Chain A
């Protein structure tokens, strides 16, 4: 009997479904303002280690209508993006499907090396200073879901979007949406998105807490996180159903830091919640950061925008014992 694991997981998500739409990337439950990719002539201390970001969209097998991959503010100019001297950056957005687009080992890496552009190129477009798309959506597609790469892990079709800064040194801030409609954002029921390396912008305030949700696959014993160019901006706290007091080592300017946690039994098959708590003073603004996670075999873990198993909610275990002393 075929198990629609992904759908079942969806049903068990702990928050109201309107709050956990997967197709916005970043998702609402992540509370991340923007993804960011710099032009390949930028210095890495701007917060992008490789000027490239790979994301995967997952369309459930039983969804057969066309889907669209939409990009918000794909240009590099205007109010949202991060200027460096003058906007001169060109960013290429490429959509891939077909066999290997996800399953190729290089596609699951964290660096744009080797065959990371695996699969069939379905569409591509490069944006520079294009006021027409400043603060607006650009739509790729329609795509037949079956043009993606099928995997029975979650019984769905994978599409890959590679965003790469091919020139310039500015920061392009943007968002994605996997939509059933060409001109508006309508979620694909049961859809999801994930990446192996998350490059994003932190909030320019000290109040908002951003989250990402690494998925702890079966067999995971330890999880190592690596983060880049965090500018010592606060803390990374790690939560799960069984964890509420772990922290990750935070990097400073233009270097990687890493730390490891031991996975508890109740965390396997579910997601962790990495919370990014900015420091109060002094306020760090325009902080772009990179984070990856891997298991004990140094296999990269996925950050699902709709966390597998739901947003992990710590389940306390209060106990009491007599104490007459």
Chain B
């Protein structure tokens, strides 16, 4: 037992592998808040209560001095500089709060959060928030429509629309939830938004869950001050598999901090994106670069087989009278036939000899050729799973290694292990203990410098592992 524990420690069991690089964006202000970024074309739409100047129609304030939030837009000048934010759309501007937004490129629909009451009022108190949507283009604004479940009795906020525009995720403190704000979703079916569906206790807690960001229909990022956050709101992600959500996992430091970290959005490859945080006092928008490998292209590992078909290219038929084709595969096995298939038991270089003889007698017909066959493993990351026959046992350590990977294009330099998307280890070998029975996806990403092109490349494979309950000894 002690030995086992030592082994686990030595093989970097469950290491922290945060590889995010974050940066506060220069357009943030020390005096005002900025949050809820939304990537739109070549810039960002975000919420801010900052004071706007020339291009702002009127600087509203409540009697108490509260300056409402509005949707602003800014874009990058170059890799370091951003343009001065300006109002995103005068048509969307109101005297009350406009909040977080989302845009569906497919349906050209913009969803955003706003106080329900805008006319004849300048109050944000007792004025709950709802979601509104409209067909949007830079030059044309169509009718703004209410999300049908907006109610004065509760808030519906933080929209995130699926890629196809048919599922809207949002946060709400409507009755019936688990506490605070919960994440819900509604489907747009035949022109009608379905009754909001609470994502359930795997996602929602007694505390608040806000700012959903749905990615490729099944990967949900959200913010929560539950789920044992580091402090305040943290950003988590979860995957929907077979109609259930995996246990939410927090993003690593420095994306998350002991302050509020929220409203995560990312580009189409999850390599870069933005989030909000108040770690420096005000709400600011930060950018992040995900130095972690992308698991999106991770393919199921394919068993290495060293099988080949052999034939005489000059012959189209399957048999020839009198002639016998004999194949000596150089591994101690032989076969006859014009076309044969052979699987070598292992990788290696084999000298395969083909002989054609004539049954009519020696000297009548004879031909011999030798082929050099290089049986190489499939070009892929290869995960060896030791200590396991067909199923692993919960609570018992299982050793994994990627040492049999065949990646001739690169010189491997980084190893990244994941179990169900959770980063586990950065070593070529690892030992992991699955505490609960179930089916797990173990993924390994190997990065390295290309041998031909001097650039980093990465490869990924995954294996599915079934973990069963430990059998109790009598």
Residue numbers in B under 8 Å from A314 (CB-CB): 356, 365, 367
Minimal beta-carbon separation of B206 from chain A (angstroms): 52
Asked if A219 is an interface residue, CB under 8 A from chain B, the answer is no
**In contact, B360 and A323 (Cβ under 8 angstroms):** no
**In contact, A320 and B309 (Cβ under 8 angstroms):** yes
Q: Nearest CB to that of B315 among chain A residues?
A: A245
19 contacts between A and B (CB under 8 A): A209-B361, A237-B322, A244-B314, A244-B365, A245-B315, A245-B317, A316-B356, A317-B314, A317-B369, A318-B313, A319-B311, A319-B371, A320-B308, A320-B309, A320-B352, A321-B308, A321-B309, A323-B308, A323-B341
Number of A-B residue pairs, CB cutoff 8 Å, is: 75
**In contact, B313 and A313 (Cβ under 8 angstroms):** no
**In contact, A315 and B360 (Cβ under 8 angstroms):** no
Residue numbers in B under 8 Å from A324 (CB-CB): 302, 305, 307, 378
Of B320, B369, B373, which is within 8 A of A245 by CB? B320
Asked if A242 is an interface residue, CB under 8 A from chain B, the answer is yes
Chain B interfacial positions (CB closer than 8 Å to A): 302, 305, 307-315, 317, 320-323, 341, 352, 354, 356, 360-361, 364-365, 367, 369, 371, 373, 378
Minimal beta-carbon separation of B164 from chain A (angstroms): 35
Total A residues in contact with B, Cβ cutoff 8 Å = 25
**In contact, B371 and A316 (Cβ under 8 angstroms):** no
Residue numbers in B under 8 Å from A277 (CB-CB): 321-322, 360
Asked if A86 is an interface residue, CB under 8 A from chain B, the answer is no
Most buried by B among A243, A313, A319: A319
Of A209, A313, A317, A323, which is within 8 A of B312 by CB? A317
CA distance A277 to B358 in the complex (A): 12
Most buried by A among B307, B354, B365, B373: B365
**Given A244-B315, A319-B313, A323-B341, is A209 in contact with B308 using a C-beta cutoff of 8 Å?**
no
Residue numbers in A under 8 Å from B310 (CB-CB): 318-320
CA distance A242 to B367 in the complex (A): 12
**In contact, B320 and A244 (Cβ under 8 angstroms):** yes
Minimal beta-carbon separation of B468 from chain A (angstroms): 30
Residue numbers in A under 8 Å from B314 (CB-CB): 242-244, 316-317
Residue numbers in B under 8 Å from A243 (CB-CB): 314
CA distance A235 to B322 in the complex (A): 11
Asked if A213 is an interface residue, CB under 8 A from chain B, the answer is no
Minimal beta-carbon separation of B363 from chain A (angstroms): 10
CA distance A320 to B350 in the complex (A): 12
**In contact, A207 and B356 (Cβ under 8 angstroms):** no
Asked if A282 is an interface residue, CB under 8 A from chain B, the answer is no
**In contact, B364 and A209 (Cβ under 8 angstroms):** yes
Minimal beta-carbon separation of A318 from chain B (angstroms): 4
Most buried by B among A243, A317, A320: A320
Most buried by B among A244, A275, A325: A244
**In contact, A322 and B312 (Cβ under 8 angstroms):** no
Q: Nearest CB to that of B368 among chain A residues?
A: A316
Asked if A150 is an interface residue, CB under 8 A from chain B, the answer is no
Q: A241-258, CB under 8 A of B: which get 1 and which 0?
A: 011110100000000000
Asked if A239 is an interface residue, CB under 8 A from chain B, the answer is yes
Residue numbers in B under 8 Å from A315 (CB-CB): 367
CA distance A253 to B352 in the complex (A): 47
Residue numbers in A under 8 Å from B321 (CB-CB): 235, 237, 247, 277
CA distance A237 to B359 in the complex (A): 14
**In contact, B308 and A316 (Cβ under 8 angstroms):** no
Residue numbers in A under 8 Å from B341 (CB-CB): 323
**In contact, A207 and B360 (Cβ under 8 angstroms):** yes
**In contact, A318 and B354 (Cβ under 8 angstroms):** yes
**In contact, A244 and B307 (Cβ under 8 angstroms):** no
Most buried by B among A239, A243, A245, A321: A245
Most buried by A among B302, B356, B360: B360
**In contact, B361 and A207 (Cβ under 8 angstroms):** yes
**In contact, A317 and B313 (Cβ under 8 angstroms):** yes
Residue numbers in A under 8 Å from B364 (CB-CB): 209, 275
Minimal beta-carbon separation of A22 from chain B (angstroms): 19
CA distance A244 to B316 in the complex (A): 11
Q: Nearest CB to that of B327 among chain A residues?
A: A318
Residue numbers in A under 8 Å from B302 (CB-CB): 324
Q: A284-325, CB under 8 A of B: which get 1 and which 0?
A: 000000000000000000000000000001111111111111
Minimal beta-carbon separation of A278 from chain B (angstroms): 10
Q: Nearest CB to that of A315 among chain B residues?
A: B367
**In contact, A316 and B369 (Cβ under 8 angstroms):** yes
Q: A227-240, CB under 8 A of B: which get 1 and which 0?
A: 00000000101010
Residue numbers in A under 8 Å from B356 (CB-CB): 244, 314, 316
CA distance A243 to B305 in the complex (A): 34
Residue numbers in B under 8 Å from A242 (CB-CB): 314
**In contact, A318 and B371 (Cβ under 8 angstroms):** yes
Minimal beta-carbon separation of A265 from chain B (angstroms): 12
Residue numbers in B under 8 Å from A237 (CB-CB): 321-322
